[in-house]
Chain A
Amino acid sequence: MAYIELKDVDYVYPLAKEPALKNVTASFERGKFYGVIGENAGGKTTLCNLLRGLIPHFYKGKLTGEVLIDGEDIRTLNMDVLSTQMGYIFQNPFTQISGVKSSVFEEIALGMENLGVPKEEMIEKVFAIAELLNIEHLLQNNPNALSGGQRQKVAFASVIAMDTDTFVIDEPTSQLDPDGTAGIFEIIHKLKEQGKTIVLVEHKIDLLAEYADEVLVLKKGELLAKGRTSEVLSDFSLTEQGAMIPHTVSFYKEFKARGHEFSEVPITKESCVRQLGGMLKEREGEGSV
């Protein structure tokens, strides 16, 4: 049985005219990394809200179709219990800082306090996570005095400190520079290697291409595609519908247009570089032009 199953799901926010999700059918397995891409207002955040149980419990509105988490209907699940099983990180760094702790150290520990984690364990975990996210130098700072990017990292740290089975993450790198962004992706990858299930909404398609097992494409509330990363990201009919493609794939397209074939569509940087290197070697082997 799949971990999370959506069948013919339609959802309309209260007082809204248009549905935010139309006829969405998808299933998610444990331990996989799912990327979600699409234009703005396409339903990505709504999908996150749904997986997290905020729809229907927090947002109300009209939900039709079947949504099962481990076989149980989401409408009957207790959202408070779900909060201990599903971590949720979203975009706005300013609202995710609690405002009730005076040091980043205590801020990261807040979730663990609520979960009843013993003190010594909390302390060690905070150190481990701070090291992972490179924020050890911020541990003694006041969270309310941090920059947007710093807050985003602290919010991220605070949620992964809770060590839930699943993480639903909605654009966690919007305020980070390329280094910070790469760091976050590496950590998400590590989480996946620990067996966690990840659902990540991102615009940074190149990084998603490197790490995600499967990709979902949403447009205007409809699920255009769901499948293995390499298949979805090399499906050019999607590009025509507005889905973005990684740089590696656009290289592939440009080279193909000039008559140079890659042996396989390069999704990851490694694959692209390797294949380009191979093509260059071939060219060198052909002698001078």
Chain B
Amino acid sequence: MKKWNKLTIFLIPIGIAVNAVGGQLALALKLPVFLDCIGTFVTAALCGIGPGLVVAVGTQLINAITTPTVLAYIEIGMLFAVISYFFAKWGIFKSLWKSALSGIAVALVAVCLAVPTTAFFLGGFAGTGATTIAAALMASGWGVLPATFVSEAVSEGTDKIVCLIIIFFVLKAIPDRLKVKLPNARFFIDEVED
């Protein structure tokens, strides 16, 4: 692993805070989406997988303080960090359409990981809005697994597409002179060589 530069270390707490406050803001505005992983994506895109992982795990640990069950989903955030790094590498964040479409891909990954955990561990009860959908489906005869799958897909799908769009705008708006100091500058600025 490359030696983490100083800026990366200080970006990590900010990444965690952006995750936390992003989620709180969505809640305050009563939006039907979570928007609580923006920090993970931005950190991983700008600094690399390692820092992104730290942000993801750190955020989940802090969330676990009030809701310890989120620890069951910790691997999802970690996967987001990895995905974001590759998205940055492949230039996905340079285009609005690519970012939005990748939101679907991310949602799919999230659902595939979340569903087994929610279905088997918690009986379809994620404690979120998805649960109402799952409950309604199960009441009309759907099995636990398919009901959970559909409810999570709807919930995650909307959330991740919106997330990725926001992330695109955020990454775009960060001034170059700041990006250039971060490890993944070469993914965003053409003049920088490796």
Contact partners of B181 in chain A: CB under 8 A: 14, 58-60
> In the complex, A15 Cα to B189 Cα: how many Å?
10
> In the complex, A14 Cα to B186 Cα: how many Å?
13
Name the residue on B nearest A79 (C-beta). Answer: B6
> In the complex, A15 Cα to B186 Cα: how many Å?
13
Total chain A interface residues with beta-carbon distance under 8 A: 7
The answer to whether A14 touches B6 (Cβ under 8 A) is: no
User: Is there a chain B Cβ closer than 8 Å to A13's Cβ?
Assistant: yes
Contact partners of B180 in chain A: CB under 8 A: 14-15, 60
The answer to whether A13 touches B6 (Cβ under 8 A) is: no
Output the least CB separation between B190 and chain A (Å). 11
Interface string of A50-69 (1 = CB under 8 A from B): 00000000111000000000
> In the complex, A16 Cα to B175 Cα: how many Å?
12
The answer to whether B191 touches A15 (Cβ under 8 A) is: yes
> In the complex, A158 Cα to B23 Cα: how many Å?
35
Name the residue on A nearest B185 (C-beta). Answer: A14
Interface string of B173-190 (1 = CB under 8 A from A): 000110011000000010
Contact partners of B6 in chain A: CB under 8 A: 58
Instruction: Specify which of A15, A58, A59, A60 is in contact with B176 (CB 8 Å cutoff).
Output: A15
Chain B residues numbered 84-139 whose CB sits less than 8 Å from any CB in chain A: none
Output the least CB separation between A199 and chain B (Å). 23
Output the least CB separation between B12 and chain A (Å). 13
> In the complex, A13 Cα to B191 Cα: how many Å?
14
> In the complex, A15 Cα to B177 Cα: how many Å?
7
> In the complex, A14 Cα to B181 Cα: how many Å?
9
> In the complex, A58 Cα to B6 Cα: how many Å?
9
Chain B residues numbered 135-194 whose CB sits less than 8 Å from any CB in chain A: 176-177, 180-181, 189, 191
Contact partners of B177 in chain A: CB under 8 A: 13-16
Using a CB–CB distance below 8 Å, which chain B residues touch chain A?
Answer: 6, 176-177, 180-181, 189, 191
A-B contact pairs, 15 of them (CB 8 A): A13-B177, A14-B177, A14-B180, A14-B181, A15-B176, A15-B177, A15-B180, A15-B189, A15-B191, A16-B177, A58-B6, A58-B181, A59-B181, A60-B180, A60-B181
Known: A14-B177, A15-B180, A59-B181. 11 other contacts (CB 8 A): A13-B177, A14-B180, A14-B181, A15-B176, A15-B177, A15-B189, A15-B191, A16-B177, A58-B6, A60-B180, A60-B181
